[in-house]
Amino acid sequence: MNQNLAAKANDILQSTVAAPPTVPGIVAVATDRHGDIFAGAAGLRAPGGPAMTTDSVFAIFSTTKAITGTAALQLVEEGRLDLDAPAKTYVPDIAKAQVLEGFDAAGAPKLRAPKRDITTRMLLLHTAGFGYDIFNEHYNRLGQTQGLPSITTATKASLMSPLLFDPGEQWEYGSNIDWAGQVVESITNRRLGEVMQSRIFEPLGMADTAFTMTPSMRERLVAMYGRAPDGALAQIPGFELPQNPEIHMGGHGLYSTALDYTKFIRLWLNDGAGPTSQVLKPKTVRMAVQNGLGDLKIKSLPGIIPTLSNEAEFFPGMPKSWALSFMLNDEDAPTGRPAGSLAWAGLANLYFWIDRRNGIGGFWATQILPFADAASVGGYLAFESATYAALDQKKAA
């Protein structure tokens, strides 16, 4: 499988970098339950800079979310976190969130009290009611007219946003898991990054993952690019997520490598087992990977801020659900990914999947805005498809 996959995957990486509209640099890693079965890189880290390497460091944006969810699930196992208790039990400030019912004639938001309390389960499922200005026009308006800070500021003020509906009634992608990170901090009385370091990164050997980059990580940092409507790419000078933030943003704030992230993927492929210890119990993993939305389905993400995101939907037209920090495809995907697999993405066109049935997964990393960049998505889907084609050849041999 490794030889078949290596040839196809390297061709995909090289063609994605070379063929217009080009992608400046990519790292792609595939893994099974035992270790990486492919790791490749193509392109450059920065304009005129060094070649991309598999240990290059990326701002991983929303692929942070699943790691925060894992930290919360560890506390559930220990009996320190009740997913169905009011989240205000742990973070009283969340009780200040009111439901936005539109804007009055003067442009001021119209707010009312929610019908029920937010729970941590709702936060992990994105049903609490919080949104993102990137994907919601009301949040974008609040930022432009009411001074609501962007969540990329990593401030407490950026979390103090209204709800778009009564908790538990809809699915809306947003700052929910940033709040879940605050729940973890409250229970442990430690910063989220410290919790992740001791309870997840060290047991898994993830030495290159952190909210604040080490000098070694910074030396391998990949430049951020923006793609213009005509397809042209330009480096975004000085782009960096806050390195000494007020809040460790559990929804998007980590820097990491693709090689580190597949170590995290293997945790979920192996029922919570790390290389030397059990990070999550198997029964916790089995609970966490189930659809938590009932009859609700996740929806496409509109590109409200075009410089940050195009309209985005994974496998358009296919029903998709949400587990505790992951998307689930309800039907078999055209790449070969079976129904019930786990997946998600990061804003700068990073993508991962976790197929527990076949024991494989992978991570695709670029640093391009806006999200859902056609060249990046196309390369990623080709890489995932190549992984399944190699798996099929192995089964047939």
| Pairing status of strand 58-59 against strand 99-103 | unpaired
Is residue 173 part of the annotated active site? The answer reads yes
Look up residue 95 and give its two tokens.
Answer: 């009780």
Catalytic residue among 173, 351, 380, 388: 173
Question: How many Cα atoms are found within 13 Å in the side-chain-facing hemisphere of 202?
Answer: 7
DSSP H/E element including 14: helix 2-18
Catalytic residue among 8, 56, 62, 351: 62
Sign of CA dihedral 39, 40, 44, 49: positive
DSSP-derived 3-state class of residue 318: coil
Is residue 139 part of the annotated active site? The answer reads no
Nearest to 341 by CA among 352, 353, 325, 359: 353
Look up residue 277 and give its two tokens.
Answer: 């210890």
Nearest to 269 by CA among 362, 360, 347, 158: 360
Q: Tell me the residue type at 331.
A: E
Phi and psi dihedrals of 256, rounded to 5? Answer: -165, 180
Evaluate whether 165 touches 159 at the Cβ level (below 8 Å). Answer: no
Is residue 380 part of the annotated active site? The answer reads no
The span from the CA of 89 to the CA of 19, in Å, is: 53
The answer, yes or no, to whether the previous bond of 21 is cis (omega within 30 of 0) is yes
Nearest to 118 by CA among 107, 133, 129, 108: 129
The span from the CA of 123 to the CA of 28, in Å, is: 30
Catalytic residue among 8, 65, 263, 320: 65
Nearest to 27 by CA among 2, 51, 49: 51
Give the Å distances, CA to CA, from 153 to 77, 87, 156, 253, 356.
32, 23, 9, 10, 35
All residues at 6 or more sequence positions from 78 whose CB lies less than 8 Å from its CB, including other chains: none
- As annotated, the active-site residues are 62, 65, 173
